[in-house]
Amino acid sequence: MLRVVAGALFLTLLATPAAARTVSPAAAAREWRVRHEREIVAEFDSLLAIPDLAKTPDGLQRNADAIAAMLRRRGVRTRVVSVPGGASVVIGALDTPGAKRTLGFYAHYDGQPVDPLDWTDPPFTPTLRDRALEDGGKPLALPAAGDTLPTEARIYARGSGDDRAPVMAMMAALDAMKAAGITRRSNLRFLFEGEEESGSPHLEATLTPERASLAADLWLICDGPLHQTRRPLIYFGDRDVAQIDITVYGPRNELHSGHYGNWAPNPALMLARLLVSMKDDHDRVSIAHFYDGIVPLSTLEQRAIADAPAVDTTLMREFAIGGSEGAPARLAELITRPSLNIRGLTSGHTGAQATNAIPSWATAAIDMRLVKGMDPAATVQRVIAHVRAQGFFVTDHEPTLGERRSHAKVAWLAARHLGLGAVRTPMDLAVAQEVARVVDSVRGPAVRLPNMGGSLPLSELERAIGAPTLVVPIANHDDHQHTFDENLRLQNLWDAIALMASLFAM
Residues 324-383 that bind a copy of itself (CB under 8 A): 324-326, 331, 334-335, 337-339, 341-359, 362-365, 367, 369
Closer residue to a copy of itself in complex, CB, 9/389: 389
Candidates 23-31, 186-194, 204-212, 261-269 — which segment interacts with a copy of itself by CB under 8 A?
261-269
Rounded to whole angstroms, the Cα distance separating 165 from 441 reads: 21
Sole binder of a copy of itself in the list 1, 263, 282, 444 (CB under 8 A)? 263
Interface with a copy of itself includes 321 (CB under 8 A)? Answer: yes
Residue number with CB closer to a copy of itself (75 or 258):
258
Count of CB atoms situated within 10 Å of the CB of 318: 13
Report d(CA 417, CA 147) in Å as an integer: 44
Type of residue at 467 = A
372's CB contacts (< 8 A; 6+ apart) are 237, 294, 295, 421, 422, 423, 424, 451
- Residue of the chain from 79, 101, 230, 279 that contacts a copy of itself (CB under 8 A): 279
Residue from the set 319, 328, 397, 444 that interacts with a copy of itself by CB under 8 A: 319
Binding test (CB under 8 A) with a copy of itself, winner from 205, 269, 294, 506: 269
Q: How far is the CB of 224 from a copy of itself (least distance, A)?
A: 7
- Binding segment for a copy of itself (CB under 8 A), chosen from 81-89, 119-127, 147-155, 448-456, is 448-456
Closest contact distance (angstroms) between CB of 247 and a copy of itself is 9
Nearer to a copy of itself (CB atom), residue 102 or residue 492? 492
Kindly identify the residues of this chain, within the stretch 391-410, that bind a copy of itself according to CB under 8 A. 401, 404-410
CB of 264 to a copy of itself, least distance (A): 6
| DSSP structure class, residue 450 | S
* 422 three-class SS: coil
Member of 36, 62, 480, 489 binding a copy of itself (CB under 8 A): 480
Q: Among the candidate windows 23-31, 139-147, 263-271, 298-306, which touches a copy of itself by CB under 8 A? A: 263-271
Residue choice 102, 160, 395, 455 for contact with a copy of itself (CB under 8 A) = 455
Give φ, ψ of 222 to 5 degrees.
-95, 90
Q: Hey, which residues does 503 pair with through a beta bridge?
A: none
**CB contact at 8 A, 141 and 129:** no
Site for a copy of itself in 27-86 (CB under 8 A): 55
Provide the greatest CA pair distance for the chain. 88
Quick one: 396 or 428, whose CB is closer to a copy of itself?
396
Q: What are phi and psi of 61, to 5 degrees?
A: -65, -40
C-beta of 237: minimal distance to a copy of itself in Å?
12
Q: Which of 252, 289, 388, 437 binds a copy of itself (CB under 8 A)?
A: 252
- Residue type at 505 in one-letter notation: A
Q: Which stretch binds a copy of itself (CB under 8 A): 37-45, 276-284, 459-467, 498-506?
A: 276-284
- Give the separation between CA 7 and CA 466, rounded to whole angstroms: 41
Among 96, 198, 257, 390, binds a copy of itself (CB under 8 A): 257
The least distance separating a copy of itself from the CB of residue 116, rounded to whole angstroms, comes to 11
CA distances from 171 to 94, 159, 167, 273, 504 (A): 12, 16, 6, 51, 11
Candidate residues 51, 126, 421, 453; the one interacting with a copy of itself per rule CB under 8 A: 453
Query: Which residues partner with 157 through β-bridges?
Result: none
C-beta closer to a copy of itself: residue 79 or 416: 416
76 vs 264 by CB, closer to a copy of itself: 264
C-alpha neighbours within 13 Å on the C-beta side of residue 154: 27
Interaction between residue 484 and a copy of itself (CB under 8 A): yes
- Helix H or strand E segment including 69: helix 57-73
**Per rule CB under 8 A, is residue 272 in the interface with a copy of itself?**
yes
Asked whether position 112 contacts a copy of itself by CB under 8 A, the answer is yes
Query: Quick check: 491 binds a copy of itself (CB under 8 A)?
Result: no
Site for a copy of itself in 137-196 (CB under 8 A): none
Q: Pick one of 5, 13, 42, 276: the residue that binds a copy of itself (CB under 8 A).
A: 276
What are phi and psi for residue 129, nearest 5 degrees?
-130, 150
CB 489 within 8 A of CB 170: no
Q: How many residues bind a copy of itself (CB under 8 A)?
A: 100
| Closest alpha carbon to 497 in 173, 223, 28, 146 | 173
Residue 323 near a copy of itself by CB under 8 A: yes
Q: Shortest gap between Cβ of 216 and a copy of itself (angstroms)? A: 25
User: What is the rounded CA–CA span in Å between residue 279 and residue 338?
Assistant: 12
CA separation for the pair 279, 204 (Å, rounded): 34
264 binds a copy of itself (CB under 8 A): yes
Question: Taking CB under 8 A as the criterion, which residues in 192-251 touch a copy of itself?
Answer: 224-225, 238-239, 241, 243, 245, 249-251
Least distance to a copy of itself, CB of residue 190, Å: 24
Residue 340 Cβ, how far from a copy of itself at the closest point, in Å?
A: 8
Neighbouring C-alpha atoms within 13 Å toward the C-beta of 427: 16
Question: For the stretch 236-270, what's the b/e string if a residue is b when 16 or more beta carbons lie within 10 angstroms of its beta carbon?
Answer: bbbbbbbbbebbbbbbeebbebeebeeebebbbeb
Dihedral sign, CA of 345, 348, 352, 357?
A: negative
